[in-house]
Amino acid sequence: MQPPATPKADLPESAPAFAVERTLGRLGKWLRLLGFDALLETECPPGGFWVCCDRGRTLLTRTRRTAETQAARAPVFIRSNDPFEQLEEVVQALGLTAVDIKPFSRCLRCNEPTEPLPREEARGAVPDYVWETQPAFSRCPCCRRVYWRGTHTARSIERIEAVLSAVR
């Protein structure tokens, strides 16, 4: 599970939002992990993806045809097959910095900003060991998924720092 989130009030209004083509699903999940609003094409109803792209979202695509036909939307064409190199491409193309990143502040499943969950309310919603050992929790207001700082957090933070240092 993910660590506690930053409350909605702490998320900048001007943070970039993304429309992520179906060929870039893992990239979309990493963008959410970094705290960005990332709408995945696979989560949209048929034909609904292009409507969402008109809402100030940056289109991310690996398809040349899409990049050409959607040129008016100023898409970011992703060249790499590797999701971490793709992430570097996005960070570099948009000039994102550590200030723009709010790790672990969105639900990976729903894309909603998570909210702090009082520790006592997490009891019964997480394994007993987790409740006993973790000091803080957050929850998605949409799907009700509970997040906490798991063992993967340090690895994720290392990966984020590596991406940021690679594009400096």
- Say what percent of the chain tops pLDDT 90: 66
Among 28-32, 134-138, 155-159, the minimum mean pLDDT is found in 155-159
The one-character DSSP state at 44 is: S
Name all contacts of 8-17 with Cβ < 8 Å and 24+ positions apart.
8/113, 8/115, 10/102, 10/105, 11/35, 11/102, 11/105, 11/113, 12/100, 12/102, 15/100, 15/102, 16/58, 16/94, 16/96, 16/100, 17/55, 17/56, 17/57, 17/58
**Domain-wise residue ranges, the chain:** 1-168
Q: Of 3 and 66, which is predicted with more confidence?
A: 66
The per-residue pLDDT for 158 is: 87
Is residue 168's pLDDT more than 70? no
pTM: 0.84
Among 18-32, 64-78, 150-164, the minimum mean pLDDT is found in 150-164
Among 60-64, 94-98, 137-141, 149-153, the minimum mean pLDDT is found in 149-153
Closest C-alpha among 112, 79, 108 to residue 93: 79
pLDDT-derived band at 11 (thresholds 50, 70, 90) equals: very low
pLDDT-derived band at 3 (thresholds 50, 70, 90) equals: very low
pLDDT digits (tens, 9 = 90+) for 23-44: 999 999 999 999 999 999 999 9
